């Protein structure tokens, strides 16, 4: 029969001392003599005593648990981000609960409610592509649960966010393409509900102006990030009278879908048409014809920094946490 871990009360009864004496002895309190301390600690070990985490949490007002809501762990960007969160959390004696929204706003709301009921001390979030209202996150203020967003962040003035400067990197992508002889540059934009989509677009537009290339709305197409929708977007670009010689894709996954569609149309990648994108996923290095350039967005570093900010808020450190952290991306 498996022996249950002993409680402080049981140890106190066996040694005929008070519960408070046992508690202090287990915490090496200086008011407890060495002999008593050794007796308590020896018996606790023999009886497989383990601290009651629920009681500790109640006493300290913390569960030492961080909630994480991400769109999809199947994406390498977010699985790398999880490593940054877990490493930083573990260094601070925190565990994590992970939920996937799968880019479903209603599912995201349910996960937020589940995290709240599990009494997480704080929440790290990268938004669903379909999230248009942030009320479910704002309500957490009523429960003193801080929220920090990273990568996919909301356009809210008082939100704590960690993101990359995608506008300047988009300008750099256009500069690079123009320097390599491209004048007709297509742009595959993500969902309008995602602020990074607009940030990328504004950088693309600024890059065109910088290089004295006239803006043409026909060269900007939209995808909801699903493969079939990206195929439709790519088809729109290929039907243009002056077909683009290069395409800036929303991310590496969109670029890969675009490349697949072009191949099916008989186009030679990096000869008839060129792709550049965002995320710089390691998997692309194994491809024969990967995107020529991909913007590094540092998922590990973004997530680790967001975790640091969240812990700062949880611990109510006297020095105010930085509200908007923008990391420099790298082309």
Same domain, 15 and 87: no
Residue-wise pLDDT for 138-195, tens only, equals 999 999 999 999 999 998 999 999 999 999 999 999 999 999 999 999 999 999 888 8
Inter-CA distances, 67 with 5, 147, 281, Å: 28, 9, 25
Q: Are residues 260 and 177 in the same domain?
A: yes
CA distances from 150 to 30, 61, 158, 317 (A): 44, 26, 14, 21
Smallest CA-to-CA distance from 126 within 309, 306, 253, 322 is with 306
- pLDDT, tens digit, for every residue of 34-54? 888 888 888 888 888 776 655
User: Considering the domain boundaries, does residue 16 fall inside one?
Assistant: yes
Q: Summarize the confidence of residues 114-118 as an average pLDDT.
A: 92
Residue spans of alpha helices (H) in 224-319: 227-238, 252-264, 299-314
Tokens of 195: 């602020």
Judge whether 1 lies within some domain: no
CA 224/CA 129 separation, integer angstroms: 8
Beta strand residue intervals within 7-157, DSSP E: 65-70, 95-100, 122-125, 147-150
Better pLDDT: 70 or 286: 70
In this structure, is residue 120 part of a structural domain?
yes
Residue 184 and residue 274 in one domain: yes
Q: Is residue 160 part of a domain?
A: no
Please state the length of the chain. 331
d(CA 161, CA 65): 20
Task: Please say if the pLDDT value at position 5 is more than 90.
Answer: no
Assess whether 118 and 43 both reside in one domain: no
92 lies in the same domain as 25? no
Q: From the DSSP assignment, how many helices (H) and strands (E) are in the chain? A: 12, 11
Tell me the CA distances in angstroms from 196 to 199, 216, 270, one per residue in order: 5, 21, 26
pLDDT per residue as tens digits for the range 52-77: 655 555 555 678 999 999 999 988 89
Strand partners of residue 189: 222
| Amino acid 331: pLDDT | 79
Same structural domain, 181 and 277: yes
How far is the C-alpha of 86 from the C-alpha of 97, rounded, in Å?
A: 10
Q: Are 186 and 244 in contact (CB under 8 A)?
A: yes
Secondary structure (3-state) at 219: helix
Query: Quick check: is 273 in a domain?
Result: yes
Please tell me whether residues 207 and 307 are part of one structural domain. no
pLDDT at 31: 87
Q: How far is CA 324 from the centre of its chain?
A: 15
126 and 23 part of one domain: no
Least confident of 70-74, 90-94, 170-174, 280-284: 280-284
Residue 161 lies in a domain: no
Query: Could you tell me if 80 and 125 lie in one domain?
Result: yes
Same domain, 90 and 132: yes
Number of domains in the chain: 3
Over residues 270-294, the mean pLDDT reads 84
Domain assignment of residue 76, given as a range: 63-151+299-327
Q: DSSP state, 330?
A: B
Same domain, 284 and 306: no
In this model, does residue 319 exceed pLDDT 70? Answer: yes
Q: Is the Cβ–Cβ distance between 182 and 224 less than 8 Å?
A: no
Tell me the per-residue pLDDT of 218-241, one tens digit each, with 9 for 90 and over: 999 999 999 999 999 999 999 999
Residues 178, 144 within the same domain:
no
Q: Report the pLDDT value the prediction gives residue 130, as an integer from 0 to 100.
A: 92
CATH of residue 195's domain is 3.40.50.2300
Position 208 scores a pLDDT of: 97
């Amino acid at each position: 029969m498996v022996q249950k871990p002993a409680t402080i009360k049981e140890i106190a009864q066996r040694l005929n001392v008070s519960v408070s004496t046992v508690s202090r002895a287990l915490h090496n309190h200086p008011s407890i003599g060495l002999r008593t301390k050794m007796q308590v600690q020896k018996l606790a070990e023999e009886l497989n005593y383990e601290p009651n985490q629920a009681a500790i949490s109640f006493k300290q007002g913390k569960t030492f648990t961080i909630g994480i809501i991400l769109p999809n762990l199947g994406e390498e960007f977010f699985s790398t981000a999880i490593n940054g969160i877990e490493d930083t959390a573990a260094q601070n004696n925190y565990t994590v609960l992970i939920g996937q929204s799968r880019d479903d706003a209603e599912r995201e709301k349910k996960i937020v409610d589940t995290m709240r009921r599990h009494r997480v001390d704080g929440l790290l979030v990268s938004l669903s592509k379909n999230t248009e209202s942030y009320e479910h996150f704002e309500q957490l203020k009523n429960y003193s649960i801080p929220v920090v967003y990273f990568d996919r962040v909301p356009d809210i003035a008082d939100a704590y966010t960690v993101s990359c400067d995608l506008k300047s990197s988009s300008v750099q992508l256009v500069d690079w393409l123009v320097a390599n002889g491209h004048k007709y540059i297509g742009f595959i934009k993500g969902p309008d509900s995602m602020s990074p989509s607009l940030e990328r677009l504004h950088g693309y537009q600024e890059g065109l102006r910088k290089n004295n290339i006239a803006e043409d709305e026909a060269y900007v197409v939209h995808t909801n990030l699903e493969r079939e929708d990206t195929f439709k977007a790519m088809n729109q670009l290929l039907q243009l009278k002056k077909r683009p010689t290069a395409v800036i894709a929303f991310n590496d996954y969109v670029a890969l879908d675009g490349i697949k569609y072009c191949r099916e149309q008989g186009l030679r990648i990096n000869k008839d048409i060129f792709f550049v994108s965002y995320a710089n996923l390691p998997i692309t290095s194994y491809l024969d014809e990967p995107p020529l350039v991909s913007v590094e967005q540092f998922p590990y570093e973004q997530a680790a920094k967001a975790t640091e900010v969240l812990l700062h808020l949880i611990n109510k450190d006297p020095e105010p946490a930085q509200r908007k952290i923008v990391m420099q991306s790298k082309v």
